[in-house]
């Protein structure tokens, strides 16, 4: 289960993971793959990454690397409306956001949504020097990026996708942050740390204060949701951990996850604060900043907690850990489910070409409560 599945990636098959675009001894590039040289005179950079919260945070170190390579350039994120709202007034590498309308394989999962007339022309008029595709395999996104008319296009390329001026192979079973940093390296971008960092603003803290008042000290957050139900650890396990962790607990979720949030709270014998849809992403960042620990599934809010500097314990399916797990273990502890077949029908979970079976049962239910609790206690005792 590639948990950021996108039609853009449908053409991706396993490719070799040694995907740094190497230069030969004479300085020339391998055919189809560019040099790693800085591009001269770059004033405007477009970056395509138009999906969900975790996807954005996995790509943030690559955007930081681009900004370090071109400190005077304006970096425009081609994203969606939530990016525009979340990043407005927030320090970081993104200077402005273009909220794309729904476009197949670029900003929506729906097929048959071409880019509206005039959009690429409008974007072309911005005069991008560099267009960076860190969105997916490129079947849909590479033609879109090429239409932006940038002097140099760089990005990912799955087998069969259109080439960009400089590219690295899009491969299964490759951590996305590292993959995107390889794209940044094609134009001289060097990483300054591998984990995303998000600044919490005064507006974020004000939103939290309006919604919840002053959080209790020593707070632990539990986040039982995940967009894909197969990535969810059972609610009763979260409830047991929350009861036994011995701290004030807040249970977070979106408005759509209210039943899940209340399912955890109602199963607990100790009181907990339910927060379902009461906070925007900025307010959630401020809440997590005040927590000593966040216990979660593999989901965007886990990435957000880590990005504001809070330790996390999270339940992962093994394939997702490879693509999107934390890259350090000092403050982040993944518990790994090694399930390789659907619990309901036995369909292979590890064959990237296999179709998704219709079952939504958890692939991570086998992870025991005590394993999660042990990691939680260890991180809390270090606090």
Residue 191 covered by a domain:
no
Tell me the CA distances in angstroms from 133 to 46, 77, 234, one per residue in order: 9, 10, 36
Is 236 domain-assigned? yes
Q: Are residues 151 and 270 in the same domain?
A: no
d(CA 66, CA 190): 7
Write the pLDDT tens digit of every residue in 160-182: 999 999 999 998 899 999 999 99
* 192 lies in some domain: no
Residue 19 lies in a domain: yes
Query: Residue 316 — very low, low, confident or very high, per pLDDT cuts 50/70/90?
Result: very high
CA 331 to CA 382: how far, in whole Å?
9
**Whole-number pLDDT of residue 210:** 97
- Rounded to an integer, the average pLDDT of 74-102 is 97
Structural domain boundaries, residue 209:
202-382
Instruction: Choose one of 133, 156, 185: the last residue of a domain.
Output: 185
210 and 359 in a single domain? The answer is yes
Residue 9 above 70 pLDDT? no
Helices (H), 213-351: 235-244, 258-267, 281-290, 300-307, 318-324
The mean pLDDT value for 199-226 works out to: 97
Same domain, 208 and 177: no
Number of neighbours of residue 200 by Cβ within 10 angstroms: 20
Whether 28 and 124 map to the same domain: the answer is yes
In a domain, 206, yes or no: yes
Mind listing the pLDDT tens digit for each residue in 91-117? 999 999 999 999 999 999 888 899 998
Question: Counting beta carbons within 10 angstroms of the beta carbon of residue 113, is it exposed (0 to 12), middle (13 to 18) or buried (19 or more)?
Answer: middle
Asked whether residue 141 is domain-assigned, the answer is yes
Q: What's the number of domains the chain is made of?
A: 2
Instruction: Report the CATH number at residue 282.
Output: 3.40.50.2000
Q: Report if residue 63 sits inside a domain.
A: yes
| Domain match, 144 and 232 both | no
Do the domain assignments include residue 232?
Answer: yes
């Amino acid at each position: 289960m590639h948990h950021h599945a996108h039609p853009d990636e449908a053409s991706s098959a396993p490719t070799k993971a040694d995907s740094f675009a190497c230069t030969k001894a004479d300085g020339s590039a391998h055919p189809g793959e560019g040099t790693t040289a800085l591009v001269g005179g770059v004033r405007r950079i477009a970056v395509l990454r138009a999906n969900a919260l975790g996807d954005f945070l996995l790509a943030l170190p690559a955007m930081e690397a681009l900004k370090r390579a071109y400190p005077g350039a304006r970096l425009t994120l081609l994203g969606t409306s939530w990016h525009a709202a979340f990043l407005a007034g927030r320090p970081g590498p993104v200077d402005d956001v273009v909220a794309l309308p729904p476009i197949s394989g670029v900003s929506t999962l729906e097929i048959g949504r071409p880019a509206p007339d005039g959009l690429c022309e409008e974007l072309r008029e911005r005069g991008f020097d560099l267009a960076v595709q860190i969105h997916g395999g490129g079947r849909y996104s590479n033609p879109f990026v090429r239409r932006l008319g940038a002097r140099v296009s760089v990005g990912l390329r799955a087998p069969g996708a259109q080439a960009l001026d400089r590219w690295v192979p899009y491969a299964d079973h490759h951590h996305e942050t590292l993959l995107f940093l390889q794209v940044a390296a094609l134009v001289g971008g060097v990483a300054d740390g591998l984990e995303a960092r998000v600044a919490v603003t005064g507006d974020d803290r004000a939103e939290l204060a309006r919604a919840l008042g002053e959080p209790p000290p020593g707070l632990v957050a539990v986040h039982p949701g995940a967009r894909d139900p197969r990535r969810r650890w059972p609610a009763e396990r979260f409830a047991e951990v929350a009861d036994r962790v011995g701290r004030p607990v807040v249970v977070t979720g979106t408005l759509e996850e209210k039943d899940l949030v209340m399912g955890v709270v109602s199963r607990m014998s100790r009181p907990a604060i339910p927060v379902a849809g009461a906070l925007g992403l900025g307010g959630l960042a401020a809440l997590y900043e005040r927590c000593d620990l966040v216990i979660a599934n593999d989901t965007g809010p886990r990435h957000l907690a880590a990005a504001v500097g809070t330790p996390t314990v999270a339940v992962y399916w093994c394939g997702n850990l490879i693509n999107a797990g934390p890259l350090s273990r000092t403050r982040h502890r993944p518990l790994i489910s090694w399930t390789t077949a659907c619990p309901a029908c036995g369909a292979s979970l590890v064959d990237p070409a296999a179709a998704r079976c219709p079952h939504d049962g958890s692939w991570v239910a086998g992870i025991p409560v005590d394993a999660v609790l042990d990691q939680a206690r260890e991180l809390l005792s270090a606090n």
